[in-house]
Structure 1
Amino acid sequence: MSNKLFIVGIAFLFPVFCGFAQSCDLSIHGKIFDEGSEFPLQYVNVFIQETSEGTVTDEEGVFTFENICPGEYHLILSHIGCEAKKLHLELARDTAFHVELQHSETSLGAVVVEGEKVSHGHPPEVSVDRKDIEDNTNQSLSGLLENQAGVHLIKNGSGISKPVVHGLYGNRLTLLNNGILQSGQQWGNDHSPEIDPYVADKITVIKGASAIEYGSGNFGSVILVEPDRIEREPHLHGQVNYAFETNGRGHNLNFRLGKYSPGIAWRINSSLKKYGDRKASDYFLNNTGTEEANFSLQLEKVLNENIFFDVYASTFNTGLGVLRGAHIGNLTDLETALINQVPFYTEPDFSYALEAPRQAVSHHLAKAKVKFLIEDDQSLEIVAAGQLNHREEYDVRRSG
């Protein structure tokens, strides 16, 4: 079993820096009302994200924070029966404001409780959220899904694996990358999906009849790789994650940066990976290294209150070494390999070099979408997308 050592990623939201000469004597006063009744709301939780200070509103709906330093802050308001609301403040002087929360009481009629037989099979939908993705930055898309119910992997060496959902894989398994059907799934079992999971905020596996929503061409299983929309906040948000894995001396670096503005909102993601030879208990598995460099760009523009324009582009590039001893030319070599305690062509030294047999894979995707709001419950979307998949495989040259 390989030993793994992870260094916790550093997350930063470009916080406010208070100089030594600053005077932290500012105050924030607020009053919160019910949007429906316009009455003051009592017991609303108010939390300052940057300082971890919190309070609750009194019977008049009033809250106060004292001795606050100048700078930018996020206030999070929450109340039973309300969706939490997040406010952005640029604090330069004492500040007072009123806020409305949508909090309307609803009288319930008769409640009817019905029971039915509970199925003990796998749930029709399982997902991996953003936190799980950030905590496992060394994993591929297949590796992140491996422990989900109903999902298995076909593994063909270090870093090469395909997800299998209820027995379906390859072009029988629909894989949607930001809403676009991922090409390249027709390749054999020794090829992984060309997707960087770090671009996603949520990865969902849908099984059974629920998958019909995503097109009649699928066979009952769909994997969705979905980035969220960019946060509507006017300052930079960024995050850096680094992980080190002892087996293979692997380095994983992930970077995300984004900003919203009335002109255009943008977000970039980048991932870099480098692994060398993996190690068994007594010897190195030569030529099992991995190199990966990925990048994505997401742009969002609100043209007016009824028209929205989005652009998304990504590039995935990887090099994969294949264990030389796994390439067998005939049945005699296969029998010998099964008997040997150590694979053929095993060298005593560690290396990051990728030699034949190896793969070099790149996948590029571009997407543009325009959304028109016609009515409150009606909209029209026009999507144009294209993909370019390039794959090179280098085998061992044999003379004679």
Structure 2
Amino acid sequence: MMSFNAASTDSKLQILHLELPPVPLTSAAFSTPGRRWSADLNQMALTAFLPWLRDQFAANPQVWLDATLPSIWEFVNGTAIAIGSLRLVLIPSAALDTDELRVPQEWVDLPSWAADYYLAVQVNPDDGWIEVWGYASHEQLKNRGVYDASDRTYSLAEDDLIHDLTVLQVALEFCPTETRRAAIAPIPTLEITQATHLIERLGNPDLAFPRLAIPFSLWGALLEHGGWRKRLYEQRQGMAESWSVVDWLQAGVSHLAEQIGWQHTTFQLATGRGMRSLPTAGLARSLTIAGVSYQLQIASVGDRSAPELTVWQFELRRSDPTATIPVGVTLRLLTEDLQPFENNEDVARNQVERLYIDVALQPREGLVWEVEPTPDGYDREVLRF
């Protein structure tokens, strides 16, 4: 149920008041009670706001990185929602005062995290409601917001926010090309040894605020790399690493990997001369690329002359076996620290049935896969072999 209530200010601006439906709070693990409470607030805000958003906007909004939200909420307050190419971030708070919007730096200064608009959400679990009481654009936060180095946040006072979401709806409809994001600098990448050291250090759950323990350039690089962020999350929960393809094939896909779609399957592998005649056990996950369903598949294709190496095949194909991959689609593999290597990609120069890459790996070596155009909800994974 949705209703508009007048804000209790002299200006009588209209803010969005939504009743809080029964919320199935996340069952994921968190390192501290504070992080779990923050995750619960995010879940409540999302559960109440998303149905209203779906009702008000023609495009179907999608929660960004929905399957791996705990690995975000463990470190940063906020939830991103995509409406086509537009991104909103909900910033929930249970505070009674609504004097400012305070946004973690990660949502503003990380290129892959930055949004077009940031919505201030007051959550009242006891009385069962939320209020979206104001919003600001990325450009406003970056150029007019106050940066607080002590907690790495950008803030805007209540008077600097727009309080009526109908204004946002009108702006999106009639000013679709309006500049909403300020320029931000790219984040440098980390070397594997450096990332491993940081994960070990920051993975100690006794460290209450890992996001403030190292310079932002290092923290941002660790967080933007989805594989390393997920490993850091696991480390803080005391979980064993759960992204080993060998383990998945032998003992079953891990719970976290299963949540994002990985599963056992049987398929035929591609070769230079066509299809293998015998089916092979492997792993697969579904992808949606430009509105079309695909399958990414992985299987071992045997050993080379060097016994310490195993050859693995990555294959991308349409979910519809009669359909072809259009020109320009690219399947790419990178090292764990995102470096290319020889013969690391396959590009559809013509319409093809499949793209595939064979790669020889040492035990415990990690790879990151990419596809262009980027699949919906894509987040980097470090698959270990």
**Shorter-normalised TM-score: what interval?**
under 0.3
Structure showing the higher helix proportion among its residues: 2
TM-score (norm 1): 0.22
Structure showing the higher strand proportion among its residues: 1
Structure exhibiting the larger radius of gyration computed from Cα positions: 1
TM-score (norm 2): 0.23
